[in-house]
Amino acid sequence: MRFWWVNHKQTYRQEIEGGYPWSPKVKSNGHRHPFYDSMRLVVPGDVVFSFADVLIRQVGIATRLAASCPKPAAFGQAGTN
């Protein structure tokens, strides 16, 4: 079991209500980011601390491996930068 820290900025509500953390695969300049890459390392049973608005808002347990998917429609214009 490992522990993970997720900084939610603009999409905390959508991710918590949807039951998933989500991250882009690359930064806005097209370069890879180690934090984004590390999301692929989460395995079932890992503990995830969700940080938003200067508080740990949720603590969750991963239930499955990461899967690649497009930006969720629920995000709307959030995170376009």
Q: Would you kindly state where each structural domain of the chain is located, as residue ranges?
A: 3-65
Q: CA 72 to CA 75: how far, in whole Å?
A: 6
Q: CA 74 to CA 72: how far, in whole Å?
A: 5
pTM to 2 decimal places: 0.80
Length of the chain: 81
pLDDT at 54: 94
pLDDT at 80: 62
Instruction: Tell me whether residue 39 is exposed, middle or buried, using C-beta atoms within 10 angstroms of its C-beta: 0 to 12, 13 to 18, 19 or more.
Output: middle
Segment 22-70, tens digit of pLDDT: 888 888 888 988 888 888 899 999 999 999 999 999 999 999 998 888 8
Q: CA 8 to CA 19: how far, in whole Å?
A: 13
Instruction: Say which amino acid occupies 50.
Output: S
